[in-house]
Structure 1
Amino acid sequence: MRSVQEFASSNPKVRLCAATLLCLLFLGALIEAWREDTFAGGIQQGSLSIGQTDTDYGAISLEQTEININIDVNVNMGEESQAPALLRPAIIAGAVLADSLEWMQNMTDEYDVFPFIVTDASSPLHLAIPANKGREAMVYLSYIIHNYDNLPPYAIFTHGHRTAWHQERDIVDMIQDLRVSALEKAQYVSLRFSWSPSCPAELRPKHHDAVVWGDGDHLRETEEAIGDAWGALFPDEELPETIASQCCAQFAVTKEAIRRRTKEDYVRMRQWLLDTRLDDSVSGRVFEKLWAYIMTGEAVQ
């Protein structure tokens, strides 16, 4: 009987099968060894990678985020905690080149001054007016329009001259004697105390039966002009039976009183002044008699 070894050596197919089996066994051993090395290294490498992402990189990223948040919060809190810079009160003067304005320069320690020289075509933009009409009214309206969003706590509107027949005292003395506490309460204060040459029933635009005090300069023309212009100046307000205030368009007023009306209201008033064909002595007097009403809503001040 032939042995297995003799049978295998004499049969080529058996030799091929045996060789194939040995190759498969050897290949299986190699694959197993490779898997052990690869998975062992892969887990270790994977753990390192995950650790760097979650522990190192993640922590650094989180710390940077916290730093940025803290900076933003601190900056915002700092901005909110700091009180906005307070504007100083202002003096606005309608002047001509002939006026001496040295008195205004002496007020700059306490006030911001705005000398509108209406006869100077080279005035800087913030002191310019669109046209020299309506006397001081064009200056006052232009200042309010230009500065409506950044008004001072209160403003003093006056003429460029230091003394005049219609001023009871030197303008510097009147400004220095102004009681701010009284102004804050009243919101609007005339710099002239006497009613003369006006009176508490000076204009009667509906009935035209006014009592005249003083010289009554342009009284009738002003009364008629106010009645005619009322709808354009105050489109949603009823024309009062009596309108009266002290002469002569010099007053102090708070920003709250100015902002009783919108910026568009003042733009509309100035446009009427630009468009009117009335003489300046009348159109300016229209506003002289209306400033108190504009600022307070009261027709008799």
Structure 2
Amino acid sequence: MLRRTRRSLLQLALVCIVVYLVFSLVGPSAPKLYSWNTIRYQSTAASLPEARGLCLGLENSSKPALIVSHVAADGDTAWLQRLSSKYHLCIYEVDAPDDPTVKHLRVPANRGHESITYLTFLIDNYDSISQAGAVFVHGNRFQWHNDDPLYDNAASLAALNIPSALSTTGYHNLRCDWSVGTCPRDSGPPQGSLETSFNSILQPWSARTVSDAAMPHAFAVLFGGDDYLRNGKSKGLKLGRSDTLRAQCCAQFVVSRDSIHRHSREEYVALRQWLLDGYGMSRNSNAASRDDRIAGRVLSYLWHILFVPQEDGPVDLDTLNKQACPSAADCYCKLYGKCDLNCNARACYGQYRLPPNMRLPDNWAELHGNDLYVVQEPGVKALHGRLYPKAFQP
């Protein structure tokens, strides 16, 4: 009798498990909600960096700001000066020798790649940003990830239709092609999965794998603050094992003033301190990784979360992912006036090709640096090539 009862209980348990799995797989799934609304990280630093990131003249400019994170290896900035008729230039020399007499366009440390520049601009120019918005880019004109047939950011920035780009959400990544980022469904395992955790141990040389594994905890610390650290409550903060945060590569974007002001200046200060607290002798173990490849890449996932407006309450991950990954055709048309292209959801023919090993030939700038590019007039549709009105030589 006892054996029969045990067998019945076992069969009932198996039936319950099967029913649960069926409903989990085919039934409607609950929204994936995360409390990613406010940066709550609290720094342990005794003092904050001096404000030296002012962009002169910005408060009186009606142009969109062009914030450039420039290092010496990027070469000269002549190509940027050619864009000054369209943008108010804010070129930060990230690795310049420390000179305490210089009080503008400087960052407190060379940390997190472009992130330290972007955050310093937001902190020190918070009240001076033009209604026209701001564009954030890297300092090298030719880069493998620039979404242009010749990988030329001068051409992309000249053609960029900022009012159109900001018309829907007040934020847009400058990339339209889905390669490299996490927009495609087959882009890799979820960041919070056990597979990603194991891969980060087996492949410590892979910045993408290690940063993906670090991201769920980093977001929980940034958005949860002391509540997360003291109470260990991760629900609604830490990305689930089966959830993927989708985002475009590679931390170049345009954003409106209103979207920037969705967050207080103090939040950007806290975010920059999370980056700075992870460096130095007295580093905070809950702050950013000392490895800039990881720290910078974690923050590259964050910009659209900060700037894309959400309804009051927790962030719906599925909605956020759809906003972060518009179709390539819509993106090229809205941002660069390249409409009626031959496209699928991920890419448009002839617009971008991932170079071998994600690297351009060493002589690429020499070969293409004298190509024509122009300042695109808002509302003027560009041709599929690189011929626009008002052409000039860089």
Smaller-chain TM-score range?
0.5 to 0.7
Shift of 1:207: 2.9
2:174 aligned partner, one-letter code: L
Q: What amino acid sits opposite 1:128 in the alignment?
A: R
In 1, the alpha carbon distance for the partners of 2:62 and 2:293 equals 34
Determine the structure 1 residue equivalent to 2:362: none
Q: Which has the larger radius of gyration?
A: 1
For 2:61 and 2:121, the matched residues in 1 are separated by 19
Instruction: Note the residue ranges of structure 1 that are not aligned, 5 or more in a row.
Output: 1-83
Could you tell me which runs of 5 or more consecutive residues in structure 2 were left unpaired when the two chains were aligned: 1-58, 200-204, 226-235, 279-288, 311-318, 325-394
Q: 285, 290, 296: which is aligned to 2:297?
A: 285
**Partner residue in 1 for 2:108:** 130
The SS at the match of 1:126 is coil
Are 2:67 and 1:92 aligned? Answer: yes
Partner residue, 1:270: 272
Q: CA–CA distance in 2 between the matches of 1:126 and 1:233?
A: 28
In 1, are the aligned partners of 2:192 and 2:213 still within 8 Å (CA)?
no
Higher helix share: 1
Q: CA, structure 1 residues 239+260, in 2 after alignment: closer, same or farther (shift >3 Å)? A: farther
Give the counterpart of 2:220 among 221, 231, 248. Answer: 231
Q: What is the distance in 1 between the residues matched to 2:267 and 2:220?
A: 12
Give the TM-score, by structure 2 length.
Answer: 0.50
In the superposition, the TM-score normalised over structure 1's length comes to 0.65
- 1:156-184 Cα deviation digits (max 9, x unpaired): 10011111111122112111222223223
Deviations 1:177-223 (A, max 9, x none): 2222322313111111111112325573433567x9xxx95222112
User: Which residue does 1:172 correspond to in 2?
Assistant: 154
Would you say 1:118 and 2:117 are equivalent positions?
no
Q: What SS does structure 1 have at the residue aligned with 2:175?
A: coil
Question: Any idea what the Cα deviations from partners look like across 1:135-172, whole Å, max 9, x if unmatched?
Answer: 00000000000111111221110011111111122112
Alignment equivalent of 1:194, drawn from 158, 168, 177: 177
Q: Which of 136, 146, 168 does residue 157 from structure 1 map onto?
A: 136
After superposition, what is the alpha-carbon deviation per residue over 1:90-109, rounded to whole angstroms, capped at 9, x for unaligned?
11111112322111111112
Structure with more contact order per residue of length (Cα contacts < 8 Å, sep ≥ 6): 2
2:182–2:245 CA contact under 8 A, matched in 1? no
Q: Which residue of 1 aligns with 2:193?
A: 207
The separation in 1 between residues aligned to 2:61 and 2:90, in whole angstroms, is 18
Query: Could you tell me how far apart the structure 1 residues matched to 2:84 and 2:252 are?
Result: 19
Partner of 1:45: none
Contact 2:305–2:320 (CA under 8 A) maintained in structure 1: yes
Offset at residue 127 of structure 1 (A): 0.7
1:128 Cα deviation after fit: 1.0
Which residue in the other structure is 2:118 paired with? 140
Change (3 A) 1:259 1:167: same
Distance apart, 1:234 and its partner CA: 1.5
3-state SS, counterpart of residue 125 of structure 2: helix
Q: What is the RMSD computed on CA atoms of the aligned residues?
A: 2.5
The AA in structure 2 aligned to 1:177 is A
Between 122-131 and 269-278, report the one with greater CA deviation: 122-131
Residues 94, 136 of structure 1: 8 Å contact kept: yes
Count of aligned pairs between the two proteins: 214
